[in-house]
Structure 1
């Protein structure tokens, strides 16, 4: 590939964004017209899931293409090993300029020294952006670790920096990773600070069924959260306008995704770290060369599949060490022999594992392990089973019901095999106590 024809690659990465904030997933509030247009005109990964519903582990997986137990960053506050090979190394090794702007969360000090930046050439970032900045007070660090205060609402300040980077590097093939903190809560406030005037537009508006049923902090926080999502989408529109104005749209791959979702204190005492779709399902779409007009990818896709997809799109060899697989064959309608499921590792709140299929959600936990101290367990106990066709918002736990014994046994075997494949050992999974199904009966056609 010549320098002139190699596609630029941009990752637009949000933090804690639920899939159903988007119009293409049924949100009626018009929050994401730019994402929706991209999903319709490019490739929409309809069923997209994180492989670890907490910040640092998910980020380690997206940078390396490995599960969090393989990177070693199985929870927050474990830095990415300095000898890790990241997307920046692979793109740089193939002649790309590389840049990182925004939240890193893969180091153990602030500012982040050069050796802990994952190999990125250009650096304007903070390890913990939620602590070095506020919604209207954005401070990050440059290549020389000098503090840089950027004007405007934080989403806009980071987007302005990205636009400057693109303009400066339009003659180079570049890989730019753009990492926002929004719509993550502002930690010191435990609040979701939208731009001035945005929160009131969405307070008391449409609420997802799981939050309507389970309550949590949604009545207090959803208006601000939606306002942050709206501003992110406006920023995404500015970014795509920049590419269009510079004549780069047709030669730039743009990935929009998030590290995990948000359940608003309905599944545990905070916002993520659970097996539920509210924690693990995220909005994902890709456009640009190879993805324009790709339609919907219906099979389940994990965050672990995105790094090999980006390398594949740039015609860079996919390392054998990566544990996911490119989705380009699926877009090209190439037949693949692979299970239609995603594997999720859960830390901090618990040591847990989950398997998500098109129909079922099956999750186990290790009650004798500490989610902060222990990365895995040799023994798990069944925790959840949901029928996602009948119960898409996971309100009725079926685990232990005798009518679902055959399905549970099958999923138990599949999860055990997945853990063996990813982590190198086969744990014991203790079945849940059996209980009568009463009105529930499985037909002979049940899958």
Structure 2
């Protein structure tokens, strides 16, 4: 926790309390941006946000799976602590979240888009057939994590058939968005921000809002205007995609839509920034851009997520927005994890991390304020329960990614993966079972055991 002086410096932009907007997308790996050197995609707006702010190249999704990541994101607790172990494990109604902390400090809060934290209970069986789908399920106010304004859906995999409920509907009424999901949700976000800025409700509070879009998540449908812009034959594969026909055929086919969705999201990031400028609040609004996890797309012959390879766990994480971030670090190598996002966001506004959050505050990389305590040397990885989906991992794991470039992952009672990422960024040489590398594996194994103990996790490492 910062000292009082540091909090005061950290919590203002131009003498005013800053706004914060999360832009959260689903299944976008960090490598799928032009700033990371991917020649398949062009992301000028995301790149500009990173160049003007700070890009966390060490950021990971500690649990690369939708719902447990989101539980950790909001509570600042690991999945085994929050109770959100896997998909369809609900966020407990009594759980404290970042929204509660912002509201306690005088902020207006809003969630827009995908939620995926309501779980699957008996209520779904009692709904009419057309409302049983997650895309139409009503999330009652007490299950919205403390967000007071709400334009959201539980889960959906149809970007041209997106339905949202609002905080103004008392029961199951929803309305269908027109057009492509990312565009329409961005419209909602801009409209909400405009109303807050112009004080249409007579309230001049600063805001914390989350824009949560499903694309580029599968089914990789093409966004408007993307038809014919890219073909499977034009895709350049990562070096760790094996030369197996069916793997490359599937990866190429899906990557066409994946990259197009990312470019459409990038365009909408630009729309948001221009709106903030038009409203005159760009100088006092932080934009925090990130993803819940990545997507394998054929690397190591794997698809989707819930596994510990770089394409699944390495996520984009950027803090930008204000045109003058002279104190920003530009590039930060801190091993930022899902539990760190809430404390870091609060830190941007000078709001102390509550005692129920276990993550670290990395906001100093954006503000120039040094942390009172040194950050961890590594990030903790976990899959608490098997994912249960066709392309998911069928057993739990625990692991760490260190600041100095090591990754170590273990199955129950079994070392599994050991990579030196600085020399082997594509993870093509597994050193876990090579005796010559035992002197490197053993301290990493002990550090992993320490993480398990310190976080109160239960895992049969030995």
* TM-score of the aligned structures, taking structure 1 as reference length: 0.86
How far, CA to CA, are the matches of 1:99 and 1:228 in structure 2?
24
Shift of 1:113: 1.1
Describe the SS at the equivalent of 2:31. Answer: helix
Q: Structure 2 residue aligned with 1:305, among 334, 340, 345?
A: 340
**Residues 294, 312 of structure 2: 8 Å contact kept:** yes
Q: Are 2:252 and 1:219 aligned? A: yes
Q: Are 2:240 and 1:210 aligned? A: yes
**Residues 50, 260 of structure 1: 8 Å contact kept:** yes
How far, CA to CA, are the matches of 1:428 and 1:124 in structure 2?
42
Q: How does 1:354-369 map to 2 (within 5 A)?
A: 354-357=399-402, 358-366=404-412
Q: Are 2:363 and 1:328 aligned? A: yes
Q: Name 1:189's counterpart in structure 2.
A: none
Q: With a CA cutoff of 8 Å and minimum separation of 6, indicate the structure with the bigger relative contact order.
A: 2
How far, CA to CA, are the matches of 2:301 and 2:74 in structure 1?
28
How far, CA to CA, are the matches of 1:290 and 1:248 in structure 2?
11
Gaps of 5+ in 2: 1-10, 125-136, 200-204, 387-392
Shift of 1:31: 2.1
Aligned residues: 408
Shift of 1:213: 5.5
Q: Name 1:194's counterpart in structure 2.
A: 222
Q: Deviations over 1:303-326 (max 9, x none)?
A: 221100111111212112211111
**Residues 44, 296 of structure 1: 8 Å contact kept:** yes
Q: Deviations over 1:259-301 (max 9, x none)?
A: 0000025557641011111110011101146982411112221
Superposition misfits of 4+ residues, deviation over 6 angstroms: 1-4
For the structure 1 residues 94 and 339, does the alpha-carbon distance in structure 2 shift closer, same or farther, using more than 3 Å as the test? closer
**Residues 98, 342 of structure 2: 8 Å contact kept:** yes
Q: Name 1:384's counterpart in structure 2.
A: 417
Q: Are 2:56 and 1:56 aligned? A: no
How far, CA to CA, are the matches of 1:272 and 1:424 in structure 2?
22
Shift of 1:83: 0.6
* TM-score of the aligned structures, taking structure 2 as reference length: 0.83
Gaps of 5+ in 1: 187-191, 367-379, 431-447
- 91-100 or 253-262: bigger deviation: 91-100
**Residues 194, 228 of structure 1: 8 Å contact kept:** yes
**Residues 111, 147 of structure 2: 8 Å contact kept:** yes
Describe the SS at the equivalent of 1:310. Answer: helix
How far, CA to CA, are the matches of 1:352 and 1:363 in structure 2?
7
Q: How does 1:394-413 map to 2 (within 5 A)?
A: 394-413=427-446
**Residues 202, 222 of structure 1: 8 Å contact kept:** no
**Residues 7, 289 of structure 1: 8 Å contact kept:** no
For the structure 1 residues 160 and 206, does the alpha-carbon distance in structure 2 shift closer, same or farther, using more than 3 Å as the test? same
How far, CA to CA, are the matches of 1:34 and 1:226 in structure 2?
15
Q: Structure 1 residue aligned with 2:319, among 286, 297, 300?
A: 286
Q: Name 2:280's counterpart in structure 1.
A: 247
RMSD over aligned CA atoms reads 2.2
Q: Structure 2 residue aligned with 1:173, among 197, 206, 225?
A: 206
For the structure 1 residues 44 and 291, does the alpha-carbon distance in structure 2 shift closer, same or farther, using more than 3 Å as the test? farther
How far, CA to CA, are the matches of 1:304 and 1:291 in structure 2?
27
How far, CA to CA, are the matches of 1:329 and 1:178 in structure 2?
24
How far, CA to CA, are the matches of 2:77 and 2:62 in structure 1?
10
Q: Are 2:118 and 1:95 aligned? A: no
Q: Structure 2 residue aligned with 1:314, among 349, 360, 364?
A: 349
For the structure 1 residues 51 and 73, does the alpha-carbon distance in structure 2 shift closer, same or farther, using more than 3 Å as the test? same
Q: How does 1:88-127 map to 2 (within 5 A)?
A: 88-108=99-119, 110-127=137-154
**Residues 415, 432 of structure 2: 8 Å contact kept:** yes
**Residues 49, 321 of structure 2: 8 Å contact kept:** no
Q: Deviations over 1:37-76 (max 9, x none)?
A: 0100011112210111000000001111111111101111
Q: Are 2:159 and 1:135 aligned? A: yes
**Residues 129, 140 of structure 1: 8 Å contact kept:** no
Shift of 1:337: 2.9
- 197-206 or 342-351: bigger deviation: 197-206
How far, CA to CA, are the matches of 1:201 and 1:420 in structure 2?
51
